[in-house]
Amino acid sequence: MTPRSLWAVTALAVATLGLSSPPSATATVTATATDYQAEDAAVSQGVVESNHSGYTGTGFVNYDNVVGSYVEWTVTAPAGPADVTLRYANGTTAARPLDFTVNGQPGAVGITFPGTGAWTTWQTKTVRLQLAAGTNTIRARATTADGGPNADKLTVTPTTDDTTPPSAPGNLTVSDIKSNAATFHWTAATDTVGVVRYEINRGGNVLKVVDGNTLSATVDTLTANTAYDISVGAFDAAGNASQQSNVVTFTTPGSGDAQPPTAPGNLRSTGVTASSVSLAWDASTDNSGSIAGYDVYQGTAKVASTGSLTATVTGLAANTEYTFTVKARDPDGNASVASNAVTVRTATTGAGGIPAYDKDIAKVDLGWSAAFLPDGSALVTERDRFEVLRVTASGQKTTLGKVPGVVTTTGEGGLLGLALSPNFASDHWVYFYHTASGDNRIVRMKYENGQLGTTSSPVLTGLAKNRYHNGGRIAFGPDGKLYATVGDAKNSGNAQNKNSLNGKILRLNPDGSAPSDNPFYSSGGNARYVWSWGHRNPQGLAWDSRRQLWAAEFGENSQDELNLIQKGGNYGWPACEGTIGDCGGYIAPKRTWSTAQAGPSGVEIVNDWIYIAGVTGKQLWVTKINSAGTGVGTPQALFSGRWGRLRSVTRTPDGGLWLTSTNNDKNGGTPSTIDNVIVRLKFP
């Protein structure tokens, strides 16, 4: 282990990040660097070799070409951030990404190590990791079947904490649009130290990651005849995320495919009530490799459209026979022949649990959240108009005013959640979660004598914002405390940092102070507010009859989650998404969905039935908590495709549910168009 000079470390960072001049040493480095040779580290599924020249020490590690191969160094450092530099060679043209963990916890995810031209050509890449005082284990784990690059040594340099994010990438354009691919170009972001990677996003989901020197990329995993909204974000070595670039929108052309999918198989009934029938079927296949969706027919009438393999048809008459079939669609619009037909008789008496459509209540812009007043009317937040509406049970709308200081993120931010004080009858406080000029925040305003106040009082500020992953649901629990879901603000490292308010479910007193019985209260700082952590973008909160908290969470590209929340629990993001990834030691979800099927936002619980509004899947998911309170049954999909992107579901004082839609909401919405709905559902 040979210490480096302070200047050598700074110069190395400059070369790695492609900066034109060295950053200030006092701004980025406060201790000398230490080298740790790879051949002295713990190696899993790899071998120490010396057959390529240019390495330091006595050799280098050649990763096996498998997912999960790793090198793990034991290093000594003071507590705090450190620049960790891997010297590597990659003689192939394929980038070989690694995930870095520190003491078993996620540190830096999806760091790419592109080809260096030859196995004898060595380069470096630096990531910023948070280290504990004393001994730490740093693992660099391969995430693809190509394994990792050849690893020579790790250089660890304790630093001051860089909290300044890069600027947003600029002038994003799209070209060469094909049925399955498109090419994107953008201008470079700037950073006080340097940009290490760019993420190409569809909404809040990552499609591709490239290194900080790359300003164009082709994404070849697109689907024909599909609308896309794409932006790019930048990250520095400390994991700070920029705001997103401008958004480009386009629709991929058809592929010219005229071959329909195979018919869905084994259509069957999985549940019956007096007013509903639940169906399931086996997946179709298509020569294009993907299925765009399924259409459910009741006789000759189409009654549901869904991307999943289940649907529940509601609003049926008791003790009556109905016949159903299902057809599949491919991305070019070709429809399969019908599945087998299944005839089902509804039950004679109601079994409860599955609601039916009752009536339309009102048209709104983007009704993000609703809370009912003592008189039976409801307050509703308009996300992009920043307005608060009062909507009566008969559908009369009154605009009460705007919440001051709200801004859009031209994405998922704006005026989001609301909750009434548990003592609303006497204190008249209404709480709001909204995006402001510099952060996301929770505020409260008075609502008295039918009038909303004109000023707001801050309750909790400093929640990082971004175009995507703002969370935003707030609700008072049965303990009288205010709970808030906060997204990771497109910086996944926030979720595992207790000193960040992001990527968490927070718990606070009504006045904004931290309850002393919170799990990390004694840690001080932001950690005082943390109730659970390791979340990506949670947006749903509800409590069951046992006073247990359930939360719904958007996944990245694989799995959405329904979680039973434990005090102080870690739910694994970014190492674990649903049940996929390095999930050991984290709390597993009680139910997962494909991200194309759910996109879970608002959650409500009635008599231990859970109702989840699906944004991406455009359907309402319903499931029953088991008798032990430890899990749920198989979810059923209702109203598939009927109202589009469903955002909130709220129990009404008269025993029904209000359901809201937020279509056209991806890039700042359409605040001049009142085209979304509030509908009432009823129970048999």
- Positions marked catalytic: 469
Gyration radius (Cα) of the chain, Å:
26
Rounded CA separation 299/277 (Å): 14
Secondary structure (3-state) at 16? helix
Contact between 149 and 113 (Cβ < 8 Å): yes
**In the chain, how long is the greatest CA-to-CA distance?**
83
Burial of 4 (0-12, 13-18, 19+ CB in 10 A): middle
Burial of 2 (0-12, 13-18, 19+ CB in 10 A): exposed
Closest C-alpha to 549, from 470, 609, 605, 612: 605
Contact between 32 and 158 (Cβ < 8 Å): no
Residue type, 271: G
**What is the DSSP annotation of 562-610?**
EEEE-TT-B--TTTEETTEES-TTSPPPSEEEETTT--EEEEEEETTEE
Rounded CA separation 301/304 (Å): 9
Rounded CA separation 75/158 (Å): 11
Rounded CA separation 382/662 (Å): 10
Strand pairing report for 70-77 and 676-682: unpaired
Burial of 615 (0-12, 13-18, 19+ CB in 10 A): buried
Contact between 506 and 498 (Cβ < 8 Å): no
For residue 575, the tally of other CB atoms under 10 A from its CB is: 24
Contact between 171 and 187 (Cβ < 8 Å): yes
DSSP 145: T
Report the run of H or E that residue 11 belongs to, with start and end: helix 6-17
Residue type, 372: F
Tokens of 472: 């935003």
Q: Residues of 28-66 as b/e, b for ≥16 C-beta within 10 angstroms?
A: bbebebbbbbbbbbebebbebeeebeebebebbbbbbee
Closest C-alpha to 340, from 259, 261, 268: 268
Rounded CA separation 28/512 (Å): 34
The residues pairing with 199 across neighbouring beta strands, listed in sequence order, are: 209, 233
